[in-house]
């Protein structure tokens, strides 16, 4: 960090009124699972290294595997060595490992919770912890009910009126597979925890560059006046993944790209790009502003799915010099599977600001590269001065926010080509996070865990938002069932999706950006 940035951030820290993190225990259901090893434990470790956690804390993993504390610590160490942003430091590790514990047991076994309570109380007494508990449900939704009820019956949860003993729960996706199931999951958790204690994770909201969308829009004066239908022609959101299915067939076969990526991550990006300025940074004010966007989404129902959506599946192809089998040939996938691995949508937000502005979204697996970006394309200039030749249109201005990789943003502007003739050419003004700030960005889970510990729910999904996005998605799913189920275009792995996706945007005289 440069001296100027350090000074600035110290001054901002002084003004920061966000609550501090108090000593607490993080209790992880799914403690022997992949998410814990790859993301959660490395995230806690990084928070410790960065001095963001209080000195006093504990982590308790719960899992079916009959591990001892030491086995859990060994797995944690491997996870940190492999996946942590910062490398393992022996002196820090010793102290960190001392705070890791493991309880083995089955989530649906009521007796497990009494043992768990005894263990947590012992740990709290040993470290002199005040009894604040954060429960992380890194488990399938079918286990949410038994885990929440087990915790409640064993007296492990305190009501929200008891601020001296905080209990919070973190829930991982998928929160449902349609509106009904999402409501039922929310109701199940809601029977045990108050909404103010529930933190539904969408890890995209924890990404540094996603948080920067609000800063870009509302900490600069130049964008907001032109951020509307008068100046913006359209917006494109692309989240492409180079990887194919990997080892997640059981989950993905039932999910598909619309549920897996659009219902949560992409709609949240859309909310941040499209929302009205919140009047404060209070978590519920910000969440209300995001929620309003979901409320204004024009429904895509019935036969409209044919006009506004494209679903597709990857077939055999070559990506990065490697043969990729077609989706239906992937391990664990049905030979006649109709699960979509790609989806493209065109949608409208029915409010004053966005009236008539199309938003084009696309996401897929087995595409040519990993890239997430939002491109805001401004309207063409009038057809006078430099834009008189219909054969050589001036390229419109485009503001691109790159979420990953190479986090940053760029603005395409027209510039004069040096020389005696008045010829112009598009150039990019480029800002790269990596160049401007030399410290690597924290992982999404670091920020999100810290926020839960601090009781800041801004970056989490409220119940109404989850249900509003599911309501919109469920209409599309129903439309596909009724009108689009029989036919599923294919795209060879390693390409940008099917021709139908190109047509979706080209019919409007526009084109997908080359990402
Ligand atoms: C997850 C999806 O939520 O997000 C995965 O289930 C997807 O299918 C992943 O690969 C993408 O996250 P990221 O952070 O790698 O862009």
What's the pLDDT tens digit per position in 129-154?
A: 999 999 999 999 999 999 999 999 99
Q: Give the number of residues written for the chain.
A: 515
- pLDDT at res. 363: 98
Which residues make beta-bridge pairs with 309?
Answer: 345
Catalytic residue among 101, 132, 234, 265: 265
Query: Which of 261, 406, 407 to probe ligand 1 with, by most ligand atoms within 8 A of CB?
Result: 261
- Binding-site residues from annotation: 30-37, 64, 173, 203, 207, 241, 260, 365
- pLDDT at res. 19: 53
**In this model, does residue 17 exceed pLDDT 50?**
no
| Rounded percentage of the chain residues whose pLDDT exceeds 90 | 81
- pLDDT at res. 18: 46
- pLDDT at res. 216: 93
Ligand 1 atom 5: the closest Cα is on which residue?
260
Q: How many CB atoms lie within 10 A of CB 395?
A: 14
Distance 260 CA to ligand 1 centre (A): 8
- pLDDT at res. 8: 55
Average pLDDT over the chain, rounded to an integer: 92
Distance 202 CA to ligand 1 centre (A): 10
The closest of 232, 229, 231, 234 to 512, measured between CA atoms, is 234
Cα(95)–Cα(81) distance, integer angstroms = 16
Lowest mean per-residue pLDDT among 10-14, 260-264, 429-433:
10-14
Instruction: Specify whether 265 is catalytic.
Output: yes
**In this model, does residue 228 exceed pLDDT 90?**
yes
Which residues in 462-488 are b (16+ Cβ under 10 Å) and which e? Answer: bbebbbbbbbbbbbbbebbeeebeeeb
Distance 224 CA to ligand 1 centre (A): 30
Q: Which atom from ligand 1 is nearest to the alpha carbon of 404?
A: 16
In the chain, what are the domains? 22-172 (3.40.50.720), 205-506 (3.30.360.10)
Distance 160 CA to ligand 1 centre (A): 32
Lowest mean per-residue pLDDT among 259-273, 283-297, 478-492:
478-492
- pLDDT at res. 4: 53
**In this model, does residue 448 exceed pLDDT 80?**
yes
| Three-class DSSP category at 410 | strand
Q: Which two tokens stand for residue 420?
A: 């005696």
Cα(209)–Cα(409) distance, integer angstroms = 9
What are 330-347's pLDDT values in tens digits?
A: 999 999 999 999 999 999
What are 361-389's pLDDT values in tens digits?
A: 999 999 999 999 999 999 998 888 888 88
- pLDDT at res. 20: 80
- Binding-site residues from annotation for NADP(+): 30-37, 64, 173
| Sheet strands side by side (includes 198-200) | 100-104, 57-63, 24-29, 133-137, 167-171, 198-200
- pLDDT at res. 446: 95
Ligand 1 atom 2: the closest Cα is on which residue?
260
Q: Which two tokens stand for residue 413?
A: 């502007």
Ligand 1 atom 10: the closest Cα is on which residue?
241
Q: Which atom from ligand 1 is nearest to the alpha carbon of 444?
A: 14
Strands 322-324 and 424-432, bridge-based pairing? unpaired
Cα(288)–Cα(481) distance, integer angstroms = 32
Cα(49)–Cα(366) distance, integer angstroms = 36
Distance 15 CA to ligand 1 centre (A): 34
**In this model, does residue 10 exceed pLDDT 60?**
no
**In this model, does residue 513 exceed pLDDT 60?**
yes
Mean pLDDT, residues 3-21 taken together: 55
Lowest mean per-residue pLDDT among 3-12, 202-211, 480-489:
3-12
- pLDDT at res. 391: 82
Q: Which atom from ligand 1 is nearest to the alpha carbon of 243?
A: 10
What lies within 8 Å, CB to CB, of 174 at 6+ separation is 141, 251, 255, 259, 260
What are 243-259's pLDDT values in tens digits?
A: 888 888 989 999 999 99
pTM: 0.92
Residues having CB closer than 6 A to ligand 1 are 241, 260
Q: Which atom from ligand 1 is nearest to the alpha carbon of 207?
A: 14
């Amino acid at each position: 960090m440069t001296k100027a940035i350090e000074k600035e951030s110290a001054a901002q820290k002084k003004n920061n009124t966000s609550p501090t993190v108090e000593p607490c225990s993080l209790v992880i259901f799914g403690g022997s699972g992949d998410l814990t090893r790859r993301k959660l434990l490395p995230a806690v470790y990084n928070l410790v290294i960065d001095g963001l956690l209080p000195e006093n804390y504990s982590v308790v993993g719960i899992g079916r595997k009959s591990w001892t504390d030491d086995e859990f610590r060994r797995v944690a160490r491997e996870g940190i060595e492999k996946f942590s942003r910062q490398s393992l430091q022996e002196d820090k590790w010793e102290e960190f490992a001392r705070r890791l514990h493991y309880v083995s047991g089955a989530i649906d076994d009521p007796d497990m919770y009494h043992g768990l309570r005894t263990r947590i109380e012992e740990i709290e007494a040993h470290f002199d912890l005040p009894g604040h508990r954060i429960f992380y449900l890194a488990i399938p939704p079918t286990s949410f009910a038994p885990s929440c009820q087990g915790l409640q019956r064993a007296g492990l949860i305190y009501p929200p009126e008891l601020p001296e003993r905080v209990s919070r729960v973190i829930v991982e996706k998928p929160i449902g597979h349609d509106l009904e199931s999402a409501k039922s999951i929310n109701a199940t958790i809601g029977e045990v925890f108050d909404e103010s204690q529930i933190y539904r994770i969408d890890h995209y909201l924890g990404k540094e560059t996603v948080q920067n969308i609000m800063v870009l829009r509302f900490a600069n004066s130049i964008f907001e006046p032109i951020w509307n239908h008068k100046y913006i022609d359209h917006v494109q959101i692309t989240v492409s993944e180079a990887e194919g299915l990997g080892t997640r067939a059981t989950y993905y076969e039932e999910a598909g790209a619309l549920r897996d990526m659009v219902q949560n991550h992409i709609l949240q990006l859309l909310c941040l790009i499209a929302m009205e300025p919140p009047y404060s940074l209070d978590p519920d004010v910000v969440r209300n502003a995001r929620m309003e966007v979901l409320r204004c989404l024009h429904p895509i129902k019935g036969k409209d799915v044919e006009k506004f959506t494209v679903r597709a599946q990857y077939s055999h192809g070559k990506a990065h010099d490697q043969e990729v089998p077609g989706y239906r040939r992937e391990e664990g996938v049905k030979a006649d599977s109709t699960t979509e691995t790609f989806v493209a949508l065109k949608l409208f937000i029915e409010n004053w600001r966005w009236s008539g502005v199309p938003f084009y979204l696309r996401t897929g697996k087995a595409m040519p590269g990993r890239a997430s970006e939002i491109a805001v394309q401004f309207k063409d200039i009038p057809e006078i001065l430099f834009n008189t030749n219909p054969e050589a249109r001036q390229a419109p201005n485009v503001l691109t926010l790159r979420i990953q990789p190479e986090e940053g943003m760029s603005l395409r502007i027209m510039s004069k080509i040096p020389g005696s003739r008045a010829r112009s050419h598009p150039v990019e003004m480029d800002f790269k996070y990596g160049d401007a700030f030399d410290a690597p960005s924290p992982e999404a889970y670091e920020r999100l865990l810290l926020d839960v510990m601090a009781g800041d729910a801004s970056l989490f999904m409220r119940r109404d938002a989850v249900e509003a996005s599911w309501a919109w998605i469920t209409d599309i799913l129903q439309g596909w069932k009724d009108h689009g189920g029989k036919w599923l275009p294919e795209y060879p792995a390693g390409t940008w999706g099917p021709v139908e996706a190109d047509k979706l945007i080209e019919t409007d005289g526009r084109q997908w950006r080359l990402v």
